[in-house]
Structure 1
Amino acid sequence: MRNLLVAQSGGPTSAINATIAGVIMEAYASDQVDTIYGAVNGIKGVLEERFVNLSEKVPGEDELEILCQTPAAALGSCRVKLKNPEEDDSQFQEIIRIFRKHGIAYFIYAGGNDSMDTVDKLAAYCKEHEIEDIHVMGAPKTIDNDLVGTDHCPGFGSAAKYIATTFSELERDCHVYDTKAVTIVEVMGRNAGWLTAASALARNNGAEGPSLIYLCEPAFSVESFLADVKGKLEKQDSVLVAISEGIKDKDGVYISEQVQSGAVDNFGHSYIAGSARVLEDIVRREIGCKVRSIELNLMQRCASHIASKTDIQESKMLGMTACRCALQGKSGLMASVERISSHPYQVRYTAVPVCEVSNQEKKVPADYINEAGNDVTEKMMEYLKPLIHGETEVIYENGIPKHLYLY
């Protein structure tokens, strides 16, 4: 038997299930795969042998279409870091045992930086131990858009479309009254400000959009921020501000750490939400005008009703690419997008060594940020604009979008 196993890991997106759909479609088109399985809760589910039969759960085009519009991770996710096999290879021995028990010849893992670390370790372990009957591939995913080796990441375009739309709506709401007011909106992004930059797309149709945009790459100065806000308030009644959750001062200290406990996740990442609340208090104290903070939070990654058609199509193609590479006997690679041109927008799909991707971050280039550090440049706009194009035809049932449940 030559079966295929696919799993998801890390923070979900509104496009990650389209990648799984792409994997399934490519597997169906091949005579090399007998049964397609999905691991529930990522590599954790692999180690616990919690598999679902996707050949039964997603038998045809109707189910694939619903899967593509289903938000979050339909197979569940995890944040489990595999041990260093050089120090303890027991997990890897167990994974190989489980794969062979279930006839798994192809394993495709969809995820971000930490997920690609799992792909890298597992593929390297197989190579070192001359395991040639199992092929391991990575499929990129992250709304943060911080994976190297690919022009952009599946899930980012849809999150960017949601953010751009939300800011365009907020901007209209903020201008209803003639009283001085500041609205600070916190956007996801720990160390890369791509998502926050997407707020500038609210200006696409001629609207003002956010008055100020602060990404997490430049050092954030509270004094400069207050001066920027005061300067805007002198010219206009309402100031809409976009900030990355990961803004930090010149010493590298997150602004949000003023209200955080210091807790970290399984990968040692600090919990950093709360920057907008800190700045809200500062504006209220130092400027004294009406001020509110908004944290977009999970809505950024699960708003599949407003997904970018470009993003969904590309996510599907990347799933197909990852699957095709595995079926060709390749291993230790991540499917990726290479941009050929922006005008017209054209890309091609390829694969890069996952060892060049894992545990790295693609941050916003300096020339994508204005000199003052409070907005983005035209280079950023040209990069972003094609990624949010197109609207998906959402299938509704009983008044709300229909979703597929796999477990």
Structure 2
Amino acid sequence: MAKKRNIIVGQSGGPTSVINSSLAGVYKNAIERGFDKVYGMLHGVQGLLDEQYVDLSTQIHSELDIELLKRTPSAFLGSCRYKLPEIHEDRDIYEKLFGILNKLSIDTFIYIGGNDSMDTIKKLSDYAILTGQKQKFIGVPKTIDNDLALTDHTPGFGSAAKYIGASTKEVIRDAEGLTYKKKMITIMEIMGRNAGWLTGAAALAKTEDCEGPDLIYLPEIPFDVEKFLAKVKDLLTKKDSVVIAVSEGIKLADGRYVCELGSSSDYVDNFGHKQLQGTAAYLANFLAGECGCKTRAVEFSTLQRSASHMASRTDIDEAFMVGGAAVKAADEGDTGKMVVIDRVSDDPYMAKTGIYDVHRIANEEKLVPRNWMTRDGSYVTEDFIDYIKPLIQGDYQPIMVNGLPRHLVLNMKKKR
């Protein structure tokens, strides 16, 4: 009797509007390549430790379900922010995990996620090599932050950038309509702890019918409050409506987050990441006092990562592509690797998948190059815009039912 070849896939970290397109790519390609079962971890490796998983054939019954899954935002299987200990710190967790994998006859383990998820792939593949286990471990890139090393960009980023660019245009239009005979400052807070890729996407709003935001501040450059105030005051002498995009993670020269100058949460996740919130609110209050005009703070918050109705076709297609490429890589014997996207050309835009050792990617962070920001750090350059524009192209229309998008939802009654 032939040995069973089963595959298990999980999702980890912050969700995106296209993370499930990668899941669909894994499932479809695994079935086409003859894997017997495709299991999904419920809430990533943390759920797997509790033996929480689902046979995906009980959830995906047709091509229509695959199309719905590609259009469904957030993590269909549930996510987690669970940090595996170092192997020498707690071998029991690894023995438990591999015991579960062996019980399920798992041949291939695929994890869809960002930096911290690639750390999980690295540790599991290292343990397998160390102990002679035969499973293969492959990472699939996912993060709206676009901060994974060695890949040109990450699935999830293009759609978030498209949403930010479109929403910035709408915020600017709204602000301009409210400024008759009065001055107003609008501060938009956009996700990004250390990398400013998303905040820079606000510059996409600069089009034939829109001036774009007046100032853009990324976390790669220390934020100077006094210089910021001087720039805003100067802008107010020239125009009635000033719109500014700031990263939630902008810091002062001494390392303090700007959001810490106001009230901020002390919550820290399992990876030591401090929760950032209130940057725009603090700056809006500060400017109201200093400039004596109306101010408002707009937080895009989770909308920028869940707006599947604004997804880029390029992004959804590439997310599906890297999911399938991960299955192919494992089927051909790769392990301890992450699939990457390599840009072949800009005009016309073309990309292909590649694969790199996860040890070169895990816990590395790709920041916006300094020469893609203006000299004074208050905007991004044309090189930044040229890089990002191809990633927002095309639409992927939701499947509408009674005027609203239909999503594929996990049926928990069929977990096993």
1:196 matched to which residue of 2?
199
Residue 253 of structure 2, aligned match among 247, 250, 259: 250
1:268-306 CA-to-partner distances (Å, cap 9, x unmatched) read 111111111110111011111110011110001000011
2:108 matched to which residue of 1?
106
1:6-50 CA-to-partner distances (Å, cap 9, x unmatched) read 00000000010000000011112112x101110100001111111
1:200-250 CA-to-partner distances (Å, cap 9, x unmatched) read 001134411111100111000111111111111111100000000000011
1:262 matched to which residue of 2?
266
Structure 1 range deviating more: 308-317 or 169-178: 169-178
Distance 1:52 1:397 in 2: 27
Distance 1:83 1:90 in 2: 10
Structure-2-length-normalised TM-score: 0.96
* Alignment partner of 1:163 is 2:164: yes
Letter of the aligned partner of 2:389 in structure 1? K
Distance 1:203 1:146 in 2: 24
Distance 1:244 1:186 in 2: 6
2:144 matched to which residue of 1?
143
How far did 1:74 drift? 0.4
2:240 matched to which residue of 1?
237
How far did 1:130 drift? 1.8
Give ranges in structure 2 of 5+ residues lacking alignment: none
Contact 2:187 2:245 in 1 (8 A): yes
Residue 90 of structure 1, aligned match among 89, 92, 111: 92
1:178-201 CA-to-partner distances (Å, cap 9, x unmatched) read 211000000000000000000000
Q: Percent identity?
A: 47
* Alignment partner of 1:22 is 2:33: no
Contact 2:20 2:69 in 1 (8 A): yes
SS class of match (1:371): coil
Contact 2:17 2:308 in 1 (8 A): yes
SS class of match (1:325): helix
1:293-340 CA-to-partner distances (Å, cap 9, x unmatched) read 111100010000110010000000000011111111211000110112
1:44 matched to which residue of 2?
46
SS class of match (1:49): coil
Letter of the aligned partner of 1:384 in structure 2? I
Structure 1 range deviating more: 261-270 or 41-50: 261-270
Question: What is the aligned residue count?
Answer: 405
1:272-283 counterparts in 2 under 5 A? 272-283=276-287
Structure 1 range deviating more: 241-250 or 82-91: 82-91
Runs of 4+ in 1 over 4 A off after TM superposition: none
RMSD: 0.9
Letter of the aligned partner of 1:391 in structure 2? D
Contact 2:265 2:277 in 1 (8 A): no
Contact 2:220 2:368 in 1 (8 A): yes
Letter of the aligned partner of 2:50 in structure 1? E
Distance 2:277 2:118 in 1: 24
1:192-341 counterparts in 2 under 5 A? 192-258=195-261, 259-341=263-345
Letter of the aligned partner of 1:381 in structure 2? I
Residue 70 of structure 2, aligned match among 54, 63, 68: 68
Distance 2:277 2:212 in 1: 23
Structure 1 range deviating more: 260-269 or 138-147: 260-269
Contact 2:218 2:246 in 1 (8 A): yes
Contact 2:126 2:336 in 1 (8 A): yes
SS class of match (2:237): helix
Change (3 A) 1:292 1:83: same
Distance 1:329 1:126 in 2: 14
